[in-house]
A and B are shown apart, each in its own frame.
Chain A
Amino acid sequence: MEKFKMLWTGEYNEYWDKVFTENFILEKAGRAFPGANTATHRMTEEELVPLLEDKDIFLDGYDRVTESVLRRCSNVKMIMSIRDGPEESVDIEACTRLGVPVLFPGGRCMRSVAELTAALILLCAKPVIHQVNKIRNEGYNDSNKAEFAALNDEYFEVYGKTLGMVGLGRNGKELVKYMNAMGMKAIAYDPYCPKEAADALHVELKPLDDVLKEADYVVLAARVTPETKRMIGTREFALMKPTACFINTARSELVDVDAFVDALKTGKIRKAATDVFEKDPVTKVDIPLDDDHPYFSISPDKLIMTPHMAGYSVERTYTAYELLKPSYEGFLRGEKNIVIKNPDVFDSPAFAERGGKLFGIKG
C-alpha cells in the first residue's frame, strides 16, 4: 500500500511521531518538532503553502486553512485538526464545498477543561487563593490568626449546591460527572442535548433563565455561534442569585464583558472565575489583556483569572492523536461513522476528486 504524504504542524509527541513516521511520508513544521511545544507562531499563507502543496493530508495544529490555501494546495485530500473546535482554524464551509473532509479529536481537552473548571468552582467556594497570598505577603502569626479563623464564614462546601451548566457538550458532561460525585445537583440549558443523554447524567434540562435563577455555580460550556454570542449580558446577570459564582472556561465572546464587570462590581453575583478573554487566542496569545483592562480593577478575591489554560495539560497532546486515529483509519477504510466536522462533505460534488481519493482506499 502506498504511503501518503502528510504535513504535521500540531503539538509534538514522541510516541505519535513514531506512529506517523511508520504510516505516512511525514514532514514536520512548527510545533511538530520535539521541544517546539512552546512555539505560538501561526503560519501565514505564504509560509504554509510551499510546505503543504505536495501533501495528501494536513495534520494541522493552529495554522489557518483558508479557501485560498485549499485552492492553492489542491493535492490536499484530508485535513485533520488537532483542535476540539477545528472551525477556529479551518474554513469548514470551504472544505465541504471543495470536497475535503475535516477530522478532529472531539474531546481532546475534555478532561483538562473539566478538571480546571472543577478547580475553579472549588476555588470560588473556598477563598484559598486569597489566603495563600495573604500568608505569602503578611506571614502567618498571632496577629492575623483571628482574621483567618473568621474566614470560615466565606468557606462553603459544593456538596448539595446547584451546578448550572450553559451548554452540555463533551466538556460539560465530563464536568457534570465530577461534580455529581462531589454531591452537586446539576441543571443545564442546552437546546441540542437529547433528554436521554441528560438523564443518564442525572441532569435536568431547563430553559436558560431557570438555570441562571437556580444555580449556585453558573458554568459556561458552550461554543460561540451567532446564537450564543453575548448570550450572557446585563439581563442574564440580573437573573442570577447574588450569592452565585460565575465560571467561564469556554469563550469570552459568550459574555458581554461590560455587563460582567458591572455584575461583579455591583454585587449581582458573588464571585467569578474566567480563563478566557476577548483578545485571546485570535489576535494575541502572549499577554491577552492590557493592564488597564477593567478586569484588573476587580479584586482578586472576587475574580480569579487564569491565562486561557483550561485545555492545557501534558496529557491532551497525546490524547488528541489517540482520538484522531480511529477516525482517519476509519476514513481510509471507507467508514462514514467517524468524528468529522463536515459529514456533508460525502455528498459534495467535489468529494470524488479530493477526499474521495483516500476514502475507503484501505478497505
Chain B
Amino acid sequence: MEKLVVIGPYTDSMKKALARHLPDGIQMEYITSYEEYEKLSDADYLILRTLRLDQQHVEGLAKARLIQRWGAGYDTVDLEAAGKKNIPVAVAAGVNARSVAELTLVFMLALRRNLIPQAEAFRRGENRRTELAASSRCICGETVGILGMGSIGRLVAELTKALGAHVLYYDVIRMEEEKEKELGYRYGSLDEVLSEADIVTLHLPLLESTKGLIGKEALNRMKEGAVLINAARQELVQEEELAQALKEGRLSGAGLDEIAEPFAQSPFVGLDNVICTPHIGGSTVDIDDAMAQVCMEHIETIRAGKKLASPSLVNGSYLTL
C-alpha cells in the first residue's frame, strides 16, 4: 500500500473532496504541524497546503515521488532540493484563479467606496456617510493596472473590463498584440503601470526578482490617491513602506490577502483603509473538488510512471532524470 501524506490544515469540505478522489491502493494520512513531519519519511506522495517544505524537510524524504501543492504558488517548497532528489514539485495551476480574481474584485470595489469603514462606523452608531462618500469612486472609467498576466491576472482583467475600467498591464511575457487589441488591453512597462493606474493589483509569483518589488520607489511612482491590491504573496510588498505611504495619504487604501505575522506588530494596525485577510483568496468551498481532483490526477500520473509538465510541474529545471 502506498502512502500519501496530506499536510494541513484542511476543512471538512476539502477532506471530503480528497477522500472522493483518492485512488485505490493509496492510504491517506493527515498531519497539521512540523512536529509530525517524521511521518513524511516513508511517504510516497505529499500534498501541501500551508506549512513549508524547506531543504532539511525535503532531505528527510526517503521515498517521495511527488510533492503536490494544494494551490498555485510554489514558494513554500525548496524546488532545488526536491530536484536534486528527483522529486517533481507540482501545483494546481489555474484552479483557484477565479476565487482569487473574485476576492481581488471585492478589494477593489470595497476600497474605492470606503465600504468597510462605512459599514464599521454604522455598526458603532457613527455616521461617516458624507465624509467618506466625498472620496468614493466607481471602478468604471478608472485605470486598473495589473502586474502579472497569468491565469489570475487575465481573469481580473476580464472582470474589471466588464465594469468599464481601462486595463493596463505589465508582464515579462507580453500578449500577442492582436490579442491585446481584441481584448482592449494596453501593455505598459512596470513604471507606466505603476504611475498611470488608479488601482494597482499584483498577480505575480514570488521569485527572487519579485521579492519586495513594491517598495519605496514603486510606491512613489504610484498616483496620488491610488489603491494597491495584493492577493498574491505577502513578500512582494515591503510592508513598512506601504504603511508609510498610506499614513501619509499618498495612497488611499490597500487590500492585502496576506500579511506578515503577528498582526499585533504590523505597521497596518490602526489603518482603517487597509483590508487585511489571512490569505483566503484561493480558498473557496466551490473549488475544493476541482483542487482535490487535480492533486490526485497528478499522483496517478506519477504512479503510472508518466511525467508531469509545465505549468503543473514547477521544478523541471532542477530534475536530474
Enumerate chain A interface residues (CB-CB to B < 8 A).
37-38, 40, 111-112, 115-116, 118-119, 122-123, 125-126, 128-129, 131-133, 135-136, 139-142, 145-146, 148-160, 177-178, 180-183, 285-287, 291, 296, 300, 304-309, 312-316
Considering the chains assembled together, what is the distance between the CA atoms of A132 and B115 in angstroms? 12
Interface centre among A37, A312, A315 (most CB of B within 10 A): A312
Complex A-B, nearest 9 residue pairs according to Cβ-Cβ distance, in ascending order: A181-B162, A140-B263, A119-B109, A312-B133, A141-B262, A152-B283, A148-B278, A139-B264, A307-B129
Q: Which residues of A contact B141 (CB under 8 A)?
A: 315
Q: Cβ of A150: which chain B residues have Cβ within 8 Å of it?
A: 9, 11
Known pairs A38-B134, A111-B164; A157 contacts B284 (CB<8 A) = yes
Kindly list chain A residues whose C-beta atoms are within 8 Å of the C-beta of B277: 128, 131-132, 135
Asked whether A140 and B113 contact (CB < 8 A) given A38-B130, A125-B102, the answer is no
B31 nearest CB across to chain A (Å): 13
Instruction: Name B264's closest neighbour in chain A (CB-CB).
Output: A139
From known contacts A115-B113, A128-B110, A287-B125, infer whether A314 and B137 are also in contact, taking CB-CB under 8 Å. yes
Residues of A within 8 A of B121 (CB): 307
- CB of B137 within 8 A of CB of A313, answer yes
B138 touches A112 (CB 8 A): yes
Partner of B140, one of A136, A145, A153, A315: A315
B263 engages A309 (CB within 8 Å): no
> Do A312 and B284 form a contact, CB below 8 Å, given A141-B263, A157-B102?
no
Is the Cβ of B130 less than 8 Å from the Cβ of A156? no
**Does B287 make an interface contact (CB < 8 A)?**
yes
Point out the residue from A131, A160, A178, A306 that lies within 8 Å of B115, measured CB to CB: A306
Measured CB to CB, the closest approach of chain A to B161, in angstroms, equals 8
Asked if B113 and A40 make an inter-chain contact with CB atoms under 8 angstroms apart, the answer reads no
B114 closest partner in A (C-beta):
A309
Give chain A residues whose Cβ lies under 8 Å from the Cβ of B278. Answer: 131, 135, 140, 145, 148-149
A291 to chain B: which residues have CB within 8 Å?
A: 125
Pick 5 A–B contacts, CB within 8 A, sort by A. A111-B164, A149-B11, A155-B99, A304-B119, A316-B138
Which of A132, A156, A160, A296 is the one whose CB lies under 8 Å from B276? A132
Whether B105 lies near A122 (C-beta < 8 A) is yes
Given contacts A128-B106, A178-B163, contact A149 B50 (CB under 8 A): yes
Is there an interface contact between A149 and B9, defined as CB atoms closer than 8 Å?
yes
Q: Which residue of B lies closest to A120 (CB)?
A: B115
Picked from A37, A160, A285, A315, the residue with its CB within 8 Å of the CB of B138 is A315
Chain A residue nearest to B140 (CB atoms) is: A111
With known contacts A159-B98, A291-B125, A182–B285 Cβ distance under 8 A: no
Apart from the given pairs A118-B109, A123-B106, A178-B162, 5 other A-B contacts in the complex at a CB distance below 8 Å: A128-B277, A141-B263, A149-B11, A150-B9, A312-B133
Contact A305 B119, CB 8 Å, known A111-B164, A126-B103: yes
Closest Cβ neighbor of A286 among chain B residues: B127
Q: Mark B251-268, 1 if CB is under 8 A from A, else 0.
A: 000000001011110100
Q: Roughly how many angstroms separate A144 CA and B102 CA in the complex, as a whole number?
A: 24
Q: Are B262 and A306 in contact (CB under 8 A)?
A: no
CB–CB B122/A305 < 8 A: yes
Known: A141-B262, A287-B127. A314 touches B287 (CB 8 A): no
The reply to whether B9 and A146 contact each other, CB–CB distance below 8 Å, is yes
Q: A116-B109, A122-B105, A309-B118 are in contact. Are A157 and B98 (CB under 8 A)?
A: yes
Instruction: Pick the most buried of A123, A133, A157, A181: most chain B CB atoms within 10 A of its CB.
Output: A157
Report the minimal beta-carbon distance from B258 to chain A, rounded to whole angstroms. 10
B contact residues around A316 at 8 Å (CB):
138
Mark each residue of chain B from 1 to 29: 1 if its CB lies under 8 Å from any CB of chain A, else 0.
00000000101111000000000000000
In the complex, the answer to whether A111 meets B129 with C-beta atoms within 8 Å is no
* CB closest chain-A residue, reference B260: A140
Cβ-defined partner of B99 (8 Å) among A37, A111, A149, A157? A157
Pair A126/B113 contact, Cβ less than 8 Å:
no
B72 to chain A, nearest CB (A): 15
Q: Is B131 an interface residue (CB 8 A)?
A: yes
Name A152's contact: one of B32, B98, B285 (CB within 8 Å): B285
Q: Is the CB of A152 within 8 A of B102?
A: no
Is A157 within 8 A of B286, CB to CB? yes
Name B136's contact: one of A131, A152, A183, A314 (CB within 8 Å). A314
Cα A145 to Cα B288 with chains together (Å): 19
Tell me whether B280 is interfacial, beta carbon within 8 Å.
yes
What residues of chain A lie closer than 8 Å to B110, measured between beta carbons?
A: 119, 123, 128
Complex Cα gap A255–B221 (Å): 48
Assess whether B123 is interfacial by the CB under 8 Å rule: yes
Q: Which single member of B12, B105, B132 contacts A153 (CB below 8 Å)? A: B12
- Beyond A111-B164, A132-B277, is A313–B116 a contact (Cβ under 8 Å)? no
Q: Does B275 interact with chain A (Cβ within 8 Å)?
A: yes
Q: In the complex, which of the residues A122, A142, A309, A313 contacts B106, with contact meaning CB atoms closer than 8 Å?
A: A122
B189 at the interface (CB under 8 A from A): no
